[in-house]
Amino acid sequence: MKIRVEDLRERLQGAEERPTEAAAYVLRHAAKGDPKSVLESLDDFAVNHGFLMNLGPEKAPLLEATLRSLGLRLRVLELGCYCGYSAIAMARNFEGEGRLISLEKSALSVAAASEIIDHAGLADRVEIVHGDSGESLARLEGEFDLVFLDHWKGLYRRDLETIEARGLLRPGSVVFADNVGPVFGAEEYLEYVRGCGRFESRNEVSTIEYTDIEDAVEISIYRGPRGA
């Protein structure tokens, strides 16, 4: 069932606490070791039982296509794990040494996502780090091929600047930012990533997960430090 923009605020109430219910639903209904079945169960839960702040089936193919364009043995960083939906969508494409590190502040989400990712058979490819994104980023080292931003929208610019300062990007790395459409107030981030001179950026219009409400993602290729 699609929801209207005037209903979205009401549906979002309680969404932060819903991953536990979603995990129980997945464990009951999804085939163990089958990432596709797990994603379908999360979609079913979100549509028929309780709204989830997932990437959703409309935008997941775009993220996966972006990932595959970079190769299959990648090092990926995710900010905002929630139920583990996007981590599963990405990690199921990995081969060999492909790995994903996901930063998540909510202990409830960490517990639920860990169960869901394990049920999908991808626990060996995904590491969830519990804590504030700024503090967790300060401890990371090495370069990432793709960074997926899907946490608090007001932190997108701050955390991207930290990622750059920490040397976590290489020329050609992609930053994929979800929920930058008109509802989310992502203007500060968009102004930065489009205007700082270090990214080649494009906007893809879509819809907010499980709704008909306009949304967008911003896909930005890192050129390297200015003047490099």
Active-site residues: which are they? 150, 153, 178-179, 209
Quickly tell me which residue has 């049920």 as its tokens.
Answer: 119
Burial class (CB in 10 A: 0-12, 13-18, 19+), 2: exposed
Q: How far is CA 56 from CA 42, 62, 198, in A?
A: 9, 11, 29
Q: Which of 163-198 are b and which e, b meaning 16 or more Cβ less than 10 Å from the residue's Cβ?
A: bbeeebbeeebbbbbbbbbebbebeebbebbeebeb
